[in-house]
Amino acid sequence: MAKYMLIFRTTDEANAKFATADFTEMLDSVGRFNDELIRAGVLLAAEGLEDPSQGVVVDFTGETPVVTDGPYGETKELFNGYYILDVASVQEAVEWAKRLPHTDGTKVEIRRVPTIDEFPQDNEWVQKERAWRESTGQL
């Protein structure tokens, strides 16, 4: 099994459609989907994010970090939520992604999350992270 992150990227049009959607209906359909993931034993995490206008950007493209309110300039650079699934392959992650509710105008990027075992085990910082993960029950 491997971890895969499903990252939701929306357009302005999709955001506008979501803003007018029936919130109870959306919660019900997402809740049913989440329940399927839980029953299948593949859901590790899932979160939606607050509106990008409420965020803060720390930009490291210059000599010193610049902090600004609000999102990046373009919607296509934003993501609005994610799932982390523990599945056997990228193909299985794709199959789950194809079943996601409320995805009109949305793109879902799927990326594998490497495990700590894939990093050099003799590295001091990897050893400290492994110890932390073990102490918190993550390993």
**pTM, full prediction:** 0.81
SS3 116: helix
Determine the pLDDT at residue 75: 61
Mean pLDDT for all residues in the chain? 88
Q: Taking the C-alpha atoms of 110, 116, 119 and 125 in order, what is their torsion angle to the nearest 10 degrees?
A: 130
pLDDT at 38 over 80: yes
Banded model confidence at residue 53, pLDDT cuts 50, 70, 90: confident
Determine the pLDDT at residue 77: 64
Q: The CATH number of the domain where 10 resides is what?
A: 3.30.70.1060
User: pLDDT tens for residues 83-136?
Assistant: 999 999 999 999 999 999 877 778 889 999 998 899 999 999 999 999 999 999
**Domains in the chain, number:** 1
Average pLDDT, stretch 7-32? 83
Which tokens sit at 3?
Answer: 């971890």
Any idea what the Cα angle at residue 100 is, between residues 94 and 1, rounded to 5°? 40
Q: Which segments of the chain does DSSP mark as H helices, in order?
A: 12-20, 23-40, 90-97, 124-135
The boundaries of the domain holding residue 44 are 2-135
Residue 53 Cα distances to 9, 10, 17, 81, angstroms: 15, 14, 17, 15
